[in-house]
Amino acid sequence: MADITARVMSLSPDSVNIRRPLREALVDAILKIQMLLRFLGAPPEPETPEPNPVSPMPRAS
């Protein structure tokens, strides 16, 4: 089984013309999936920053 898996090649979707061993391609794919899962668990960032609270105006004497 090890002989067969050593020969297995994989196509990388990011660079279609480059063939890489499956062991290398799987490591990159797992890292990419982990990164995407981290972003899915994070709350979305607001599109606009929250405005600064209005500072109180000085009282007129």
pLDDT in tens, 36-54: 888 887 676 667 666 666 6
48 within domain boundaries: no
> Can you spell out the DSSP letters for 1-61?
-HHHHHH-EEE-SSSTT-EEEHHHHHHHHHHHHHHHHHHHHSPPPPSSPPPPPPPPPPPP-
21 within domain boundaries: yes
Domain that holds residue 27: 2-41
pLDDT(33) > 70? yes
6 within domain boundaries: yes
CA–CA distance, 18 with 25 (Å, rounded to integer): 11
Count up the domains in the chain and report the number.
Answer: 1
pLDDT at 60: 64
61 within domain boundaries: no
**Are 25 and 10 a contacting pair, CB within 8 Å?**
yes
pLDDT at 19: 75
32 within domain boundaries: yes
